[in-house]
Amino acid sequence: MSNILDARFLKEFVQIADEMYRHGWDERNGGNISMLLDGNELDAFRPDQGPIRRMPTGFSAPVLEGKTFLVTGTGKYFKNMLDDPESNVGIVRLSDGGRNAELLWGFSDGGSFTSEFPAHMMSHAARIGIDPLHRVVMHCHPTNLLAMTYVHDLDERLFTRTLWQMSTECVVVFPDGVNVLPWMLCGTNEIGQATAEKMKTARLVVWAQHGIYGAGRTLDECFGLIETAEKAAEIYLKTAHLPIRQTITDAQMHQLEKRFGVRARSGYLAPEKADFRKKD
């Protein structure tokens, strides 16, 4: 069996975690990542022994039965991921309808999966139902998006439109918009269930006064979603107190839809005006 520390998926995972830390999104032990592993990734690095130990998850997710995830650990600092992945991340396989997780590798210091594991797994279950190619859930605390939840209306349509108007690429990168949850106690099944419900209609879910959840097919896609929304929030905070002389209009966003083959979330833009001019 090959050394799992040489696995490309593990290297990419810890590199993304390090990049998130360097962006200032994951202070201390804030934030967590989980990635669904496929058979090809596991075949070359499958442990030659049974589960190291079993850990109760505290929830049920039958659709994830038998699925295997690479996940960050509870209380772990993202700044340490690159140097010591075996202590800071683990590979777990869900069993018993998701009620237990079998540790296959990692958490070598006796640790466990992130306290946000229920929210991650419930979000995975929701996104797989929308997109069979879905694989990644990422949670972090981007400074500007977090600050925005203190000063901006939390209505999802208004929140999304503000972000779309801050940068031309936004409606292209996240045409499904951004969903928003009011403040809720973190690390609970209740916030996990609420986040999963929001994940059915958007890949980005903001937790007011806390952070954001992102979902995607790859680590890069998920990171890029959050990065784009965070930059838009930064532009908003830098301009909100100034007189706005021009912005990206709904008509221009309809042009972007056509140019890039995307469709903005229904009802979030003003209807495109029909052209009644006579044609030759």
The length of the chain is 280
Residue 156 backbone zone (phi > 0: left; psi -120 to 50: alpha; other: beta): alpha
- Following CA atoms 249, 159, 22, 36 in sequence, which dihedral angle do they give, to the nearest 10 degrees? -110
Would you name the residues annotated as active-site residues? 116
How far apart, in whole angstroms, are the C-alpha atoms of residue 256 and residue 235? 20
Chain position carrying tokens 């469709």? 263
* C-beta separation of 67 from 36 below 8 A: yes
